[in-house]
Amino acid sequence: MRKPWRLDAGARRDVTEAANWHEAKEPGLGMAFTDVFEGRLEAAEESPGMATQVIVGGEAYRRVPLRAFKYSIWAIELESVYLVLAVSHQRRDNAHWLGRDKRSRKG
């Protein structure tokens, strides 16, 4: 059975902020960012093996690069879903979203 990929509130906020930032730089670029993000998320749902396992702070995460943009989707694998915790610029330190992990697992 295929596991769905779901976004927590922090990841939804990340997507909105990144799209708004790109849109402010160039009209239409925010929509392009959102389209690329949604396409990669859908691809990860269809083929979870494309999500590289990465160990950060002793915990296993799944990472899916957006490629066209220098962002990655960061998720944890739970029993019935992959929970997306962050959509983060690849040069940004992971510390800004790592705290979301423990809060998200409670729900």
Q: Which residue has the tokens 């983060």?
A: 88
107, pLDDT greater than 50 = no
pLDDT in tens, 3-45: 899 999 999 999 999 999 999 999 999 999 999 999 999 999 9
pLDDT the model gives residue 32: 97
pLDDT the model gives residue 53: 95
pLDDT the model gives residue 104: 53
- What is the model's pTM? 0.88
pLDDT in tens, 49-87: 899 999 988 889 999 999 899 999 999 999 999 999 999
